[in-house]
Structure 1
């Protein structure tokens, strides 16, 4: 960008300046690679404090619109597709990075759908189906320490987290996220204009030191996965959860969001970081992992104040979750035959992942199967190099870098989805991963 374009940037506050630059990008006046004015220059041109200019650039960086290059300046970020879960489009490679459940272990909806189709729901009626609300309240409140729990229904876990953050935060507020982190959480925080503060995850879950550092940095919300953390498969231990609750006891008004996405399929006990006296909390459980990704529904158990604010965003006549979908979910989760199928699915994922981890160990690659749909495989070679090696062998895997908040993982990993591989293919993939690790050293 040339100097004569700098004055086109308008605004007096950080948000106004950031919005002005965003508008210039959307109109095409600023293009990928264009350099923005230095902070000092921008502050002088707009007649604002230097910190205001810094805050504006930080908001744009968090939204992925600019890239800070130190002395090279701040540039408009290149347009690139953000990483998403699911099958890779237009690839001839065997995709082992999908994060998908096994389609053969998703319940058949046809008979339940016929049972729940009833009278139409009209504007002004309650937004939550009564039977689902009663079932969800029992399910959620039995696992939460606070005595009073209100239930809200949303269009999936991502929708729940987005709405929860939006009702509690404003742009540039700090949010604690696990690192490595689930892709949707990274996108939600970035697009909301919030400031992500990374909290490391070890083999017992979110670390105490990391959480304390995030609280010291002024986070107003925390997103935590209590079990089957994606991508690592780690679950909180009882002791770690207790230690985290002790830290959080000094911060009762920080919003805690627990995303228990693997709830009905998990082989690990649920340990919560929400203490009995905590004032702002939400336990979110979606159904996509066991009823199918197209069943976009989640239930959230929250404190009453958070429930009131969520209700303002899910009101009759404007937005609500389809009552037909709510009835269908309730019919499925209370069906004994579906319960048996989910038990088989839970065992299937655990056994297949454990068997693949054993294959890797036989080739000299240490791997803990953890919990969930995927395996988090440590590599001795850079993950990108290992991934390229696997591509030459016909495999498409995800690198750990995609799940890092800063785009660069601290240690190299691959995340693979292997529970649907026949034994012969699993043997070949394990051998190819071990070879990729050796070849890239």
Structure 2
């Protein structure tokens, strides 16, 4: 055992946990350091094995350590997760942003002028009546479970997922996440102290074997993106969705969260893994991709028990979503000009991604255009090496390493590129430079 570890002391679980915390605070233990196996620690301290197990459990519940099964127990790494959006302080052309096109976000000035009305006071319903009516029609058409869904409004999809997990899980509970995974989901699970169980994603979405393995690991919640999976652009096929529902039929009380973030912009149909008999479920749809990231609003449809638990974390006067924001959303969702803009935006993203995929093909790089705002580009060399070569040519790209759940995984051979805003000449230049970067990185 290393010197910092050998200094762990204590006879009770609480004393052992306090000793580890003290070593961490004093810098004798650092994030990522491995703690000794339970049996070794118990022998070293002369205590019962169950005492060491209880100490590690206390540390895991406090978010101080991560238990990784056969991989052991490590001090939690609190280093920041990569964030979406533009890179700061860079003179390079940023093609890794994941942002929508601002020119395809509807002008809100006319709608804002029409929102004058009576003030909303404490104790009033959390959901604006008109938004509830619109949202119920929007969500119900795609839900399999019987009975009308219960609706909740949150400050965006990330807020919804965080609250859904918090009302269902305790620290160190296992959560199934797609791998590669949306950056915000990685951050949410890490900060919540949950244990991420990766489920591989292929061209048809979350894999059946991967989900089956995650359920065998005892996951209590699953976060799935049914279409425009970020970063891969994958979407569930009808057959894949049916197979996943079949696997989940034996686990009706595992919370299934579907994040349909690209809803109104997607060129693909919605296929759900939530079966008609599933008991704990939630479908989340935000407006940020078509109304802009600053419109922090999402609608969640869920089963009654999940809705009741979620409502406890959304009390009027403390964490409600502004009714002005809700009314603005309704105004835009019912405006013919805005609806036409949504349709034009969805077509634009699909067309530009497909066109860039064809450019890459002419340069010897084959890629599936997928669905969503970005492209997931396979590479013949490690992504970081290719990215460095692109930087020398004036481009800033996002490597696939940011989206991988396992820090010890093989270096990624993918880039996520956001290219829908590039003019044809710039797109051709990027495709040419990417091919050259791949050759140089080999």
Instruction: Judge same fold: TM > 0.5, yes or no.
Output: yes
Deviations 1:149-183 (CA, angstroms, capped at 9, x unpaired): 11000000000000000111111111111000000
Match of 2:426 in 1: 425
Partner SS, residue 376 of structure 1 = strand
Identify if the C-alpha distance between structure 1 residues 424 and 308 changes in structure 2 by more than 3 Å, giving closer, same or farther: same
Please give the alpha-carbon distance, in whole angstroms, between the structure 2 residues aligned to 1:315 and 1:329. 21
Preserved CA contact (<8 Å) 1:282 1:302: yes
Q: How does 1:31-430 map to 2 (within 5 A)?
A: 32=30, 38-40=36-38, 42-43=41-42, 45=45, 47=47, 48-52=50-54, 55=57, 74=74, 77=77, 80-148=79-147, 149-407=149-407, 408=409, 412-430=413-431
Alpha-carbon distance in structure 2 between the residues aligned to 1:338 and 1:430: 33
Using a 3 Å threshold, how does the CA distance of structure 1 residues 364 and 252 change in structure 2: closer, same or farther? Answer: same
Q: Distance in 2 between matches of 1:19 and 1:234?
A: 45
CA offsets per residue over residues 322-371 of structure 1, 9 Å max, x none?
11111111111111110001111011100100000000000000001000
Using the alignment, how far apart are the partners of 1:182 and 1:4 within structure 2?
34
Return 113-122 or 89-98, whichever deviates more. Answer: 113-122
> Is contact 1:400–1:409 with CA below 8 Å preserved after alignment?
no
SS at match of 2:176: strand
Question: Are the aligned partners of 2:287 and 2:297 in contact in 1 as well (CA < 8 Å)?
Answer: yes
The RMSD of aligned alpha carbons is: 2.8
Taking structure 1 as reference, are residues 162 and 8 closer, same or farther at Cα in structure 2, changes over 3 Å only? farther
| 1:398–1:415 Cα contact (<8 Å) kept | yes
Q: Judging changes above 3 Å, is the alpha-carbon distance between structure 1 residues 370 and 73 closer, same or farther for their aligned structure 2 residues?
A: closer
What is the DSSP-based 3-state SS (H/G/I as helix, E as strand, rest coil) of the residue aligned with 1:343? helix
| CA distances 1:294-346 after superposition (whole Å, capped 9, x unpaired) | 00000001001100001111012322111111111111111111000111101
Does the Cα contact within 8 Å between 1:154 and 1:160 map onto a contact in 2? yes
Say if 1:10 and 1:171 are closer, same or farther in 2 by CA, change over 3 A.
Answer: farther
Contact 1:105 1:341 in 2 (8 A): yes
Shift in CA distance, 289/20, structure 1 to aligned 2, threshold 3 Å: farther
Do the aligned residues in 1 keep the contact of 2:219 with 2:254 (CA within 8 Å)?
A: yes
2: CA distance, partners of 1:50 / 1:365:
52
Q: CA deviation at 1:5?
A: 9.3
After superposition, what is the alpha-carbon deviation per residue over 1:247-294, rounded to whole angstroms, capped at 9, x for unaligned? 111111111000000000000000001111111000000000000000
Q: What is the Cα deviation at residue 35 of structure 1? A: 5.3
How far does residue 53 in structure 1 lie from its aligned partner after superposition? 5.0
Partners of 2:213 and 2:270 lie apart in 1 by: 25
Unaligned stretches of 5+ residues in structure 2: none
**Structure 1 stretches lacking a partner, 5+ long:** none
Q: Provide Cα deviations, 1:7-61, integer angstroms capped at 9, x if missing partner.
A: 5889726xx9768756765x5655747957534565454945443455567668x
Q: Distance in 1 between matches of 2:410 and 2:260?
A: 24
> Residues of 2 paired with 1:116 and 1:346: CA distance?
27
- The answer to whether the 8 Å contact 2:204/2:237 transfers is yes
Aligned equivalents of 2:174, 2:265: Cα separation in 1: 32
Q: Deviations over 1:91-132 (max 9, x none)?
A: 111110000000000111111112113222111111110110
Change in CA separation of 1:75 and 1:12 when aligned onto 2, cut-off 3 Å: closer
Contact 1:31–1:76 under 8 Å retained in 2: no
CA contact (8 A) 1:18 1:59 kept: no
Hey, what's the Cα distance between the residues in 2 that align with 1:330 and 1:131? Answer: 7
SS, match of residue 433 in structure 2: helix
Distance 2:72 2:199 in 1: 29
SS at 1:258 equivalent: strand
Q: Does the C-alpha gap of structure 1 residues 19 and 81 become closer, same or farther in structure 2, counting only changes over 3 Å?
A: farther
Cα gap change, 1:339 to 1:23, in 2 (>3 Å): farther
Relative to structure 1, the CA distance from residue 17 to residue 311 in structure 2 (aligned partners, 3 Å threshold; closer, same or farther) is: farther
